Amino acid sequence: MYFNNTKQEFLFCNSSTPNKVIAFASDQGLKLLSKSPHWNGDGTFRTSPALFTQSYYIHVWDEFSMKPIIYSCCENKSEKCYRELLQSLLTHAEKKNISLNPSSILIDFEQSMINAINDVFPQALVKGCHFHYAQNIWKKVKKYNLVKLSKEENIRRQIANIIALPLIPPKEVDNCMEKIIDELSNYDSTLNKLTDYVIKNYIEDARFSLSMWNHFDNIGERPRTNNHLEGYHRQLNARVRTNPDLWTWINEVKSSEESIMCRYEQEQAQQRTTRPRKGKYIQYDMKLMLAKKNIFKMKILIHIKKFCVLFLIAISTL
């Protein structure tokens, strides 16, 4: 299958069942992927074609904006399925003499994708989306019936501090977690379930390594979340009905790729983004960069704390 009216290949994977994957990328997109050290990956269910569990997209952040590069639909969410996608991508690029060597890939905390990345791109550091981390914490707050308790000021502060852990220097995480536990020990013992969950999954002999979910080094350098990808998914939802037929989905990703590459050329020509960020998010990042600077000067983390209280307020509505 070719890209629009050109002789440029677009389809690079069409595997058989089980673990069927259909995936697309343009040559220009592959070159942009090759130049980008940091990738972002995320899936969506609503607009995945009928008979497929999800569609999965890989984006890159260049100097101006986030752009989808790889468009795929997967029969399931298994490690085999993800490995098929990534290995086919690598093989396809090699045939075109395009080197893919990402230094990091930011995803949610899906273990099957983590394993697939480690297998196909062992040099890449897998990073966990900060927003998904915060969502995981808030889900446990609700699961353990702590929502009412979380309205109390100091408890709310400590939950915000848990959410802030990915934003502090890695060497400070253990000490900060100990302080959080000490503060919460003065309240309902049910809160122990929350801190036990955090320790088991993120701190001591954890399911997810510190290097995966800590984003202190990323502050001011690259996105810490996949919120840009979620925005792209919302755009797809507005244009495509739920679980469309395969050809409708393919035509949509073709159209998307053409639009994205036009945007890329426009941004390169103008040397500026065509998708300016909202002012409030720019302010959040400025606060975090100031906090990072102040940490190096041994000042308190007040900016990060304020930021995470706002974050907690936002996710509490989910």
Please count the structural domains in the chain: 2
75 and 25 inside one domain? yes
**pTM across the whole model:** 0.85
In a domain, 124, yes or no: yes
The enclosing domain of 65 has a CATH number of 3.30.420
76 and 192 inside one domain? no
302 and 163 inside one domain? yes
In a domain, 101, yes or no: yes
Amino acid (one-letter) located at 191: L
In a domain, 89, yes or no: yes
Assess whether pLDDT exceeds 60 at residue 4. no
What's the pLDDT tens digit per position in 272-309?
Answer: 877 766 666 667 677 777 766 766 665 545 555 555 55
What's the pLDDT tens digit per position in 151-202?
Answer: 999 999 999 999 989 988 898 899 889 999 999 998 989 999 999 999 999 9
180 and 282 inside one domain? yes
210 and 302 inside one domain? yes
Domain of 20, in residue numbers: 11-129+225-270
What's the pLDDT tens digit per position in 102-124?
Answer: 999 999 999 999 999 999 999 99
In a domain, 99, yes or no: yes
89 and 233 inside one domain? yes
Q: How far is residue 124 CA from its own chain's centroid?
A: 15
50 and 90 inside one domain? yes
17 and 104 inside one domain? yes
In a domain, 201, yes or no: yes
In a domain, 246, yes or no: yes
Rounded to whole angstroms, the Cα distance separating 42 from 55 reads 9
50 and 147 inside one domain? no
The predicted structure's pLDDT at residue 317: 46
Rounded to whole angstroms, the Cα distance separating 43 from 248 reads 18
141 and 246 inside one domain? no
Sheet holding 104-107: strands in order across? 11-14, 21-24, 66-74, 54-61, 38-44, 104-107, 125-128
In a domain, 2, yes or no: no
Separation of first and last alpha carbons in the chain: 40
Q: How far is residue 206 CA from its own chain's centroid?
A: 20
What's the pLDDT tens digit per position in 5-24?
Answer: 556 789 999 999 888 999 99
In a domain, 258, yes or no: yes
21 and 73 inside one domain? yes
82 and 174 inside one domain? no
